[in-house]
Amino acid sequence: MERSIILEKAKDYLVKETDPIFSEEVRDLLARGDEKELLDRFYKDLEFGTGGLRGIIGGGYNRMNTLVVTRATQGLCDYLKSQYGNAPLSACIAHDSRRRSSDFALAIALVFAANGIKAYLFPSLRPTPILSYAIRQLGCATGVVVTASHNPPQYNGYKAYWRDGSQVVPPHDIGIIDRVSKVVSILSIEKDEAIAKGLLEYLDGSLDDSYVAMVKSHLLRPDLVKAMASSAKVVYTPLHGTGAMLFERIMGELGLDVTTVPEQREPNGEFPTVSFPNPEEPAALKMAIALGQKVAADVVMATDPDADRLGIAVPDKSGDFTLVTGNQLGALHLDYLLLSHTELKTMPQKPVFIKSIVTTDFQAAIASKYRVECRECLTGFKWIADLMRKLELEGKDFIYATEESYGHLIETEVRDKDGISAAALTAEMALYWRSKGKSLLDRLEELYLEFGFYDEKGISKYFEGPSGMGIMSGIMETYRKSQPTALGGIPVVSIRDFSTLREWTIGKSQHGCLDFPVSDVLQWRLEDGTLVTVRPSGTEPKIKFYILSKTQTSSYGLAGAKQESADKIAAILAGCPKTGPRGLDSSSGSPTPASPERQPARMSVAL
């Protein structure tokens, strides 16, 4: 982009930005003539995507700042009015512990108020799931949570929700994006005036009380929890985020002994004790596991900064802690829920379990045992919520939803992943298996022996900067033009391309149609059942690969199946050049596309 255009955009930004902190940043860059930094901040506008905004905090159109979030909110207001006319509308706003989150939340609320849409604002930080819950309880038309989830401290984000408490999906996401792009002026109002006019209301603790009661109501064996809770020790870390208040309260009311990592308990947007505040990362649980070993905890739990994700670690027979992956915890949850509903005779008439297309088939196998229908959706809990809407119309009963990235949902009162309710269920589940003389790891091994050993590997490659999107598009195009016929020596038997919604079996001319929204995702199913998926991330500048393998324990035994699976995954990744796994090359002899660098699997820890 030409220097003159960048300078023009910077000057335009200075005219419109009302926050002096962000304005001063850009003025300083102009005064120093820092063209490289100015280019990065102004070569594009921070995109309001299908889930909202996420970016680095700072001055500029390609940053998270007051101008960008209020412009997005004005576009959201314009779209709501186009849908509902002059009907009275309300919105709910929450925020996490990140830099400027509370400032952004207030600025957003004042734009809603200035547009005649009543804003309900949480007075202090709250987990994302309670925002979804509040929208439904208050009857709001929309909601916004200011959070960048588990991203590093320099990031913040803006997630928009619809009236049913789910993140926006088509056609509303596209409609909002269009309105945001057309915003010319942003309406706002002073806080005192908004309160006086009844257009801004700070929420009290009653919603917290209601949410806590709701979470507890979904426990299946409250008598067992009451009888055994005092004998269990839980170590918890909110990773400097929003989770402590509600997590500690719920666990305390259940009678569980909770020790929170003191260095990570207080909210802090700098996340001083972790590189990434993400429970998917083993390093993020290091302090919690050390404390768990010290106090002989039965389970270690961690939620990410907005408390919608849950990660756990449990002691093995030697006393060392084993990290449990999102796929494994989802399988344990589903097994416990379906077993319990069967034992207690509370199974719904038409139960349905939901998982994403990159989540293990392990869970589908468990669901099949109990004759529970399994539905698949695209990656992201907004698609799970979309399926929940459809199930309601079909008269079917939602029972559980999960995705591999540590997202779990037990209840229908929330329409996004919920790390707090998932933690309560995990605690009850651990107590149940203890009452049977088993640990969670014991039960997981029993499931492997029954259904086969399911293993996983995730790798990512980041593409930052102005050329990043083009590089990622080129990688995906290359794979589509030169499809692999084998991966790691195992033949590819079928392919699903979600960009064209086509599915086909190798050697057959007829193509099937996929019943999904269009998405930039490719999947290869191998002869032995292994599934390999490649997709660009929807929230970060990276391409992600997922390798999900299955090995029969009936043939190898559990130890043998684990080794066979490791060898299989290694074969797919064998001979990795620095640009990516050669095993993902096509059989045509063409050069390997630029693909993810091999990185440690997130929480892929053998039991």
- Please give the C-alpha separations between residue 550 and each of 161, 452, 456, 485, 607, in angstroms, as whole numbers: 37, 7, 9, 19, 16
DSSP β-bridge partners for residue 397 = 351
Q: How far apart are CA 490 and CA 524, in angstroms?
A: 11
- Contact (Cβ atoms closer than 8 angstroms) between residue 299 and residue 267: no
- Please give the C-alpha separations between residue 520 and each of 181, 423, 477, 531, 599, in angstroms, as whole numbers: 23, 32, 10, 17, 22
Closest CA to 312 of 297, 580, 458: 297
Beta strands per DSSP E along 368-478:
373-377, 397-403, 407-409, 453-462
- Contact (Cβ atoms closer than 8 angstroms) between residue 479 and residue 593: yes
Neighbours of 303 (CB within 10 A): 30
Q: How far apart are CA 418 and CA 284, in angstroms?
A: 19
Closest CA to 363 of 394, 388, 395, 330: 330
Closest CA to 516 of 496, 532, 495, 501: 501
> Residue 133: which region, alpha, beta or left (left: phi > 0; alpha: psi -120 to 50)?
alpha
Strand, helix or coil for residue 171: coil
- Residue 4's Cβ-count burial label (10 Å; 0-12, 13-18, 19+) is exposed
Q: How far apart are CA 133 and CA 603, in angstroms?
A: 29
DSSP codes of every residue in 12-67: HHHHH---HHHHHHHHHHHHHT-HHHHHHHHSSPPP-BTTEEEEEBSSSTTSBSHH
Closest CA to 312 of 431, 186, 440, 438: 440
- Please give the C-alpha separations between residue 124 and each of 93, 106, 243, 268, 389, in angstroms, as whole numbers: 11, 11, 12, 13, 30
Q: Is the peptide bond before 171 cis (omega within 30 degrees of 0)?
A: yes
- Residue 166: φ, ψ to 5°: -105, 155
Neighbours of 471 (CB within 10 A): 14
Which residues are CB-contacts of 209 (< 8 A; sequence separation ≥ 6)? Answer: none
Strands 321-324 and 200-202: unpaired
DSSP conformation class of 600: -
Q: How far apart are CA 413 and CA 393, in angstroms?
A: 16
Neighbours of 251 (CB within 10 A): 22
Element containing residue 324 per DSSP (H, E): strand 321-324
144-178 residues labelled b (16+ CB within 10 A) or e (exposed): bbbbbbbbebbbbbbbbbbbebbbbbeebbebbbe
Strands 299-303 and 233-237: parallel
Strand, helix or coil for residue 597: coil
Which listed residue (149, 188, 421, 519) is catalytic? Answer: 149
Q: Is 230 a catalytic residue?
A: no
Q: Which of the residues are catalytic? A: 149
